[in-house]
């Protein structure tokens, strides 16, 4: 426990990436471009899904929610990071730090389960096409998405409660560009057993369970695809999963590496691993789905055609 003469920390200092002014400005421009592409890409995906009847299917319903989650999780991190590139004092208040923990953990875990639901959707479409319309009905999809948000909310509340019980007295320097749980726990001067338990339990229970859904779905999908006799049939079946597989590989791979690795194994490269799944992945998701999905390309063509013909 912290001593009785402990002066509580009211602000945390975020170290960012470098102290070199030229490099900071270069990184500012790079992350600003990434954020603008993230906003345009995800808002564009949401608008396209809502406007095009061609995309009114379970897969794109999940994708629209994924775009919304990516937009929210990026907005809680990147604007503050951009501001810190331009400010001499790179700090964030205690309340703002806890808000980042809550909102990012809410949407981060929601994304895990949305990706799992999208894998389940592909499993039903490829392995059980006859009952697919019944199982993946609008009501079922709404329930799956609602459940994903509720799990994310549970995770966010649990992690924030764990953080709020900690005392911060000695140091307020976070070796990261936003308030994340692991570095915050490392800074605490109080007993962190409960916080570590909540973090590991959440990552193992929620993160691994959603990961298992993805793995089980794709084991069944690959088995079904291999049983298809024609090469063209195999190619068409697998092409419906490639976009999702790409997104899953980046998100789950980096996130699980960061949250399940031993806390003592920390390196400078960890920051760039965090950048990959907190900043880059939300930008890539709409690009991956728009470039690889024929339905998205066709929907764009149909929406653009009337305007071009005028």
Of 90 and 5, more confident: 90
Query: Which uninterrupted H or E stretch holds 203?
Result: none
Work out the burial of residue 13: count CB atoms within 10 Å of its CB; fewer than 13 is exposed, 13-18 middle, 19 or more buried: middle
pLDDT for the residue 124: 93
Of 141 and 19, more confident: 141
The separation between CA 121 and the C-alpha centre of its own chain, rounded to angstroms, equals: 19
Count CB atoms within 10 A of the CB of residue 17: 18
Query: Which uninterrupted H or E stretch holds 1?
Result: none
Asked if the model's pLDDT at residue 131 lies above 50, the reply is: yes
CA nearest 258: which of 246, 244, 272? 272
Asked if the model's pLDDT at residue 264 lies above 60, the reply is: no
**pTM to 2 decimals?**
0.87
The region of weakest confidence among 68-72, 141-145, 282-286 is: 282-286
pLDDT for the residue 4: 54
The residue-averaged pLDDT of 25-40 equals 93
Number of H helices, E strands in the chain: 14, 3
Give phi and psi for 141, each to the nearest 5.
-65, -40
Asked if the model's pLDDT at residue 245 lies above 50, the reply is: yes
pLDDT for the residue 145: 96
pLDDT tens-digit readout, 157-210: 988 888 887 888 777 788 888 888 888 888 887 777 777 788 788 877 887 888
Complete edge-to-edge strand list for the sheet that includes strand 91-93 = 91-93, 11-14, 173-174
CB contact set of 131 (below 8 Å; sequence gap of 6+):
124
pLDDT tens-digit readout, 215-225: 999 999 988 88
3-state helix, strand, coil in the chain (%, to 5): 75, 5, 20
Asked if the model's pLDDT at residue 138 lies above 60, the reply is: yes
Give phi and psi for 92, each to the nearest 5.
-145, 135
Domains and CATH numbers, the chain: 12-261+274-285 (1.20.1070.10)
CB 45 within 8 A of CB 286: yes
DSSP category for residue 276 = I
Asked if the model's pLDDT at residue 265 lies above 60, the reply is: no
């Amino acid at each position: 426990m912290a001593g009785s003469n402990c002066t509580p920390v009211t602000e945390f200092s975020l170290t960012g990436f470098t102290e070199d002014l030229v490099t900071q400005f270069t990184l500012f421009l790079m992350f600003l471009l990434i954020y603008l592409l993230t906003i345009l890409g995800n808002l564009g995906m949401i608008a396209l899904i809502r406007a095009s009847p061609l995309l009114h299917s379970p897969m794109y319903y999940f994708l629209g929610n994924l775009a919304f989650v990516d937009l929210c999780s990026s907005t809680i991190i990147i604007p503050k990071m951009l501001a810190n590139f331009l400010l001499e004092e790179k700090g964030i208040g205690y309340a703002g730090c806890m808000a980042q923990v809550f909102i990012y953990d809410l949407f981060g875990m929601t994304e895990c389960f949305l990706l799992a639901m999208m894998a389940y959707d592909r499993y039903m479409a490829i392995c059980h096409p006859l009952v697919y319309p019944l199982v993946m009905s609008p009501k079922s999809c709404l329930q799956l998405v609602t459940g994903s948000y509720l799990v994310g909310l549970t995770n966010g509340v649990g992690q924030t409660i764990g953080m709020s019980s900690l005392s911060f007295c000695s140091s307020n320097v976070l070796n990261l560009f936003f308030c994340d749980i692991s570095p915050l726990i490392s800074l605490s001067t109080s007993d962190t057993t409960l916080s570590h338990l909540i973090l590991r339990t959440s990552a193992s229970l929620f993160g691994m369970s959603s990961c298992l859904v993805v793995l089980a779905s794709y084991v069944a999908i690959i088995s079904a695809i291999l049983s298809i006799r024609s090469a063209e049939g195999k190619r068409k079946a697998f092409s419906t999963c490639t976009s999702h597989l790409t997104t899953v590989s980046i998100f789950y791979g980096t996130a699980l590496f960061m949250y399940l690795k031993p806390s003592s194994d920390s390196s400078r490269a960890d920051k760039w691993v965090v950048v990959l799944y907190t900043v880059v992945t939300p930008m890539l998701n709409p690009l991956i789905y728009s470039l690889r999905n024929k339905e998205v390309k066709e929907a764009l063509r149909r929406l653009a055609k009337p305007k071009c013909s005028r």
